[in-house]
Homo-oligomer: A and B are copies of this chain.
């Protein structure tokens, strides 16, 4: 038979088993953490009507989208999880209870130019809180605290959540009489870190029609420093000159204060007035998250407050706040920069049982008993040499092997070998189980991400 060459499309992540096990651990941690904060899981289709998905229309998105006809239907694969959320909330408005808190971890699709570290199919992990008509500011402090907790649980420590408030920027530009150019200015200052102050000044003056004095004012403002308290104090000096700016300062102060109450250590967040987030969509607090040792990667988790989630579908005002982790890209970075904990290595089973008798009934019974006790077990009944079976356990990094020979069966003994130490013990079932559990507890005490790898 003529063979087709097996291949996976470029830009589509497909992991080897041990890596997938780690990805799975990360997704499990995300699900569990999000659940602690009272979020519903949500699952929406990958395929939607193109008309619905592109309601907002235009832009880069439309060029990158996977869109096609099937019969009479004009279909498209989702390119983010926000548009499907907007559709879902508009569609089910009458059956939802607000504030509606949901998380969704799902694949999205963008036909970008393929390059290393860029994906065409990738997981996003989103959380959002949607209000009906209004949504309290406290949610804007809670959301980043969830991000902090999530990364901390994964084992990441050297990261910082950077917050700003769009009203602060808009109010400030309004104050300077630059309301008309506000959007353009924000997109420019957003690039400060990348292109530097001189270049920003140049663009402000040449493209945004800003005067020298105004450019100076802007650069001075966005580079205010002195830590959270210092910046808040400096901002206080601007109060009373624009209602919007005052409101922004008020919100930023509230969010910063409550973030500490929510358990985000002071050294894990900072106010950064250059953060604007490109999208006009955001109207209040905005967030970015940076890995301290890899600022070049950009934000690994971003989001913010918006006033109208679903304006393309409904007249209802649905303000919300949300944040998104580009999970596939993050995983690629963690792998690439050696942040993934390989000690202990990921493995699909805790115990490998090697039956050494013709009748494997006793081995099966033991496997069933261990599984009932929550131990992950594989039985190895293939017709292979003893040594090949031990190699199998080694390759899969299974920590324990149990030999089931005639003697063990007759005497009701568990011959348990710890492959990491080479130590073998012959005990009763309970003692063997206790030993396995102790070992597994030790192995489980690590986190998926391990920064010591890179220090």
Contacts and interface: CB of A to CB of B under 8 A. Distances in A.
Most buried by B among A9, A18, A121, A139: A9
Nearest to A371: B36
Given A3-B312, A14-B45, A35-B376, A91 B360 contact: no
Contact of A374 (B9, B36, B37): B36
Interface of A: 1, 3-9, 12-18, 20-21, 23-24, 35-49, 51-52, 55, 66, 68-71, 73, 75, 77, 86-88, 90-92, 95-97, 99-102, 107, 109, 111, 120-121, 131, 134-136, 138-139, 142, 149, 258, 261-263, 310-315, 348-349, 352, 360-361, 364-365, 367-368, 371, 374-379, 381-383, 392, 395-396
B5 A136 contact: no
25 contacts: A1-B311, A5-B313, A6-B313, A7-B87, A9-B47, A9-B75, A12-B47, A14-B43, A16-B92, A17-B100, A17-B102, A20-B42, A24-B41, A37-B377, A38-B352, A39-B348, A40-B348, A47-B77, A47-B120, A66-B68, A97-B396, A131-B382, A261-B361, A261-B368, A262-B368
Given A15-B43, A396-B97, A71 B37 contact: no
A360 B140 CA distance: 14
A368 B259 CA distance: 11
A125 B88 CA distance: 25
Closest 9 CB pairs of A and B: A38-B378, A68-B68, A38-B349, A17-B40, A12-B45, A261-B364, A4-B55, A6-B313, A6-B90
A302 to B, nearest CB: 23
A39 B378 CA distance: 8
B47 A392 contact: no
A294 to B, nearest CB: 25
A138 B360 contact: yes
B9 A45 contact: yes
Given A5-B313, A38-B376, A138-B381, 9 more contacts: A3-B313, A6-B91, A6-B310, A9-B45, A12-B45, A12-B47, A47-B66, A68-B69, A258-B361
